[in-house]
Amino acid sequence: MIAALCEKYGPPENLVLREMPDPAPSSGEVLIAPARVALNFFDTLIIENKYQLKPVLPFSPGGEFCGRVVALGAGVKDFVIGQRVAGYCSYGAACSRLVLPAANLIAVPDNVSDDQAAGLFVTYGTTLHALRQRADLRKGETLAVLGASGGVGLAAVEIGAAMGAHVIACASSPEKLRFAQDFGAHDGLDYSVEDIKEGLKKRTAGKGVDCIYDAIGGAYSEAALRAMAWKGRFLVVGFASGEIPKIPLNLTLLKGCAIVGVYWGEFVKREPQAHLDNMIQILDWTARKVLSAHVHSVYPLAEIAEALNVLKRRQAQGKILLSVRQ
């Protein structure tokens, strides 16, 4: 097998390709040949030892994938050799052979492509968990999405619209806003030229926003929170800006609102059935073209450094994928 390995912490250029022995599945496990591996912003942090998850060196980045079953460990009955599956593994997917517990996998419907299926777990899984289990988003509520044109932001735009919310895309340029509106956003706010608080208040006729989805952090978080409606929910999804905001807690008192943490990886471990139900819903929406699972670009495994740098530069509009030879 071929694997892209992080052998020492540092920038994407430190990653190397290595030939390694093929792994073998143990009891309850499945050997998969990934065809597509999706990269996420957290992959850029893991390889620099800046993420809460700290794998032992050496390791492969890549936390989600779509591929085919190559071999089955003892006791695995839910899958067959040659079947298309997708899954989530935190890290380790940027390789041509991968072993995972069968419980980490889900069958891919025929009318969902490899490109689509590979990128559904982290961004769409996180977002549906955020909007369903954490925010209890209701039809007719307003949802503001910060960083709406990126991978996780675009997922929030699409899922929010699918759940019947009025989605306000917030991004840093007119081009990014048009992109988000092409995928279901009902309104847009360019926070490079317009104040977020005043802009969101204006777009909600002074009421404020029912739910804010923030995967960016930094200076915009507090301004967005100040535009929160009574009993609103502010979803803390991530800090792509690199800055963790310090929020004045008196704002939660004055607005009767909640700041809610979204830790999808822990949710998957603690509530596996709810996670499975979410993924079944996401695959169904994708198969019915309710969700696009839009791909920004696909890179060969050998070009993983450039693919990760696109994420670091925040240039991705949709998912960044790796193509892995079978």
pTM: 0.90
Q: How confident is the model at residue 326 (pLDDT cuts 50, 70, 90)?
A: low
Q: How crowded is residue 321: how many other Cβ atoms within 10 Å of its Cβ?
A: 26
Section 107-133 average pLDDT: 96
Q: What percent of the chain has pLDDT over 90?
A: 90
Section 111-129 average pLDDT: 95
Burial (0-12, 13-18, 19+ Cβ within 10 Å), 58: middle
Section 294-323 average pLDDT: 93
Burial 83-117 (b: 16+ CB within 10 A, else e): bbbbbbbbbbbbbbbbbbbbebbbebeeebebbbb
What is the DSSP-derived secondary structure letter of residue 6?
B
Q: What is the pLDDT of residues 227-245, one digit of tens each?
A: 999 999 999 998 878 789 9
Is residue 123's pLDDT more than 70? yes
